[in-house]
A = this chain, B = another copy of it.
Amino acid sequence: MTTATTDPAPQTRNLDALRAEYESFRARGLALDMTRGKPCNEQLDLSLGLLDCLGRDFKAADGTDCRNYGVLEGLPEARALFAELLDVQPGEVIVGGNSSLAMMHDVVVQALLKGTTGGPAWYGQKPKFLCPSPGYDRHFAICERYDIAMVPVAMNDDGPDMDEVERLVASDASVKGMWCVPRYSNPGGVVYGRAVVERLAAMKTAAPDFRILWDNAYAVHHLVDAPPPLASLLAACAAAGNPDRAIVLSSTSKITFAGAGVAALAASAANVRHLVGGLSIQTIGHDKLNQLRHVRFFRDAAGVTAHMKKHAAILKPKFDAVTAILERRLGGKGVATWSEPVGGYFVSLDTPDGCAAKVVRMADEAGVKLTKAGATYPYGKDPRDRNIRLAPSFPPLAQVEQAMELVAICVEIAARERASA
């Protein structure tokens, strides 16, 4: 996490003045929402062409009638597009429905009930997952629902604390998996370094059926022109002799339409065979027309890259506003640190210990909804009660600015009240 606490000339406001400013915000009766990483309308408008790009031409390149049943693993041209985006081979890709969350949920559920290529059903084995934290609440919710014990692991600037990860997976065969958002982690914006990726691929695990759920949700979601590179986990796992360890997920939810995009999974050929075997019981095929729409709309990865620059042009001013207001209001005061992400959908804000829940409550009472404090930790419990996830994508820029002014005021009040308590 990039920090910004070294302003040489800290502003020192009177706590009463801050409280007055808070009350004047509250009196305005705002109703702003910074809770979820939803694309805004302008972003969705970038993909309006998706709605009518098919015309009435419903045939895939190989002549498949996309209106009918079949093609479980996805249209060949859709597999090829995701392969290019995810730096894998088309045969390593399964293209699904509209939700990568559903695909990862299915991977976990199938492992619980039927096992993996590496071993029998997890159910009854008291499985555990490593959860780099802060992390994505929906990952944690899957574990919680199915009684998969979550083991938090600290995040560094280049990914999870690998010494800790290696220690945990080596010593405990019930550690069956790990959640990762390797590029622009949710919420910290961290990009996993090459050394981290290679250690994840090569580390000795006590469980022969250990799986990394590599949620590459923001694979192409850059805010800068020269994004930091990300090594391919699938390639690294293959090179390290652990080809089946990596399960890569992605989708176009934040490329085209959040609710009507296309999701994909990439994994070893053996994993693809195994997972398609399960899919064959579950469905007769995903929506190939929507896969075809996406291929027609983008043509290739270069089309996606060009499209993502338009997203960045909309999003970057909002992210810049968040960090600029935090810096102006809080810089150098020692009351907060925050991420300055170069991609993804979130800014991660850390207050002093014991203040996050209070900040979220204060903001809510003044009309600004923030993600629930604790949501970024397993079981919704931030042990230090300090992390807040800020999601600036959906509200218009002016609202992001309003909301952030208030958030900064709340942070400073909470931090000072805490310090003087």
Query: A residues touching B (Cβ–Cβ < 8 Å)?
Result: 36, 38-39, 41, 44, 47-48, 51-52, 54-56, 58, 65-71, 97-99, 101-102, 105, 109, 112-114, 123-124, 138, 141-142, 145-146, 253, 257-260, 278, 281-290
Contacts and interface: CB of A to CB of B under 8 A. Distances in A.
B44 A51 contact: no
B283 A68 contact: no
Contacts of A123: 113, 123
Nearest to A45: B67
A146 B51 contact: no
B259 A68 contact: yes
A341 to B, nearest CB: 20
25 contacts: A38-B68, A41-B65, A44-B67, A47-B67, A51-B56, A51-B58, A52-B56, A66-B259, A66-B260, A68-B258, A70-B259, A99-B282, A99-B283, A101-B284, A113-B123, A113-B146, A114-B146, A124-B124, A138-B281, A145-B281, A257-B289, A259-B289, A260-B287, A260-B289, A287-B287
A113 B142 CA distance: 12
A67 B258 contact: yes
Contacts of A257: 67-68, 289
A287 B65 contact: no
A114 to B, nearest CB: 7
Contact of A98 (B52, B97, B109, B258): B97
Given A98-B97, A287-B290, A44 B65 contact: yes
A123 B112 CA distance: 11
Given A36-B69, A54-B51, A259 B281 contact: no
Contacts of A47: 67
B105 A281 contact: yes
A21 to B, nearest CB: 33
A48 B56 contact: yes
Nearest to A96: B97
Given A113-B112, A260-B289, A281-B142, A68 B51 contact: no
Nearest to A58: B51
Given A68-B39, A142-B281, A258-B69, A287 B98 contact: yes
B145 A114 contact: yes
Contacts of A146: 113-114
A260 B67 contact: yes
Contacts of A39: 68
Contacts of A51: 54-56, 58, 289
A36 B285 CA distance: 14
Given A67-B257, A97-B286, A99-B282, 4 more contacts: A67-B258, A68-B257, A68-B258, A97-B98
A149 to B, nearest CB: 16
Contacts of A69: 36, 38, 253, 258-259
Contacts of A98: 97, 283, 286-287
A55 B56 contact: no
Contacts of A286: 97-99, 259
Contacts of A287: 97-98, 259-260, 287, 290
A150 to B, nearest CB: 14
A107 to B, nearest CB: 12
A68 B394 CA distance: 10
Given A68-B259, A257-B289, A260-B66, A109 B113 contact: yes
Given A38-B68, A67-B44, A259 B282 contact: no
A317 to B, nearest CB: 20
A410 to B, nearest CB: 26
A402 to B, nearest CB: 22
Contact of A259 (B52, B99, B102, B288): B288
A67 B253 CA distance: 9
Q: In the complex, which of the residues A114, A123, A278, A281 has the most CB atoms of chain B within 10 Å of its own CB atom?
A: A281
A44 B68 CA distance: 8
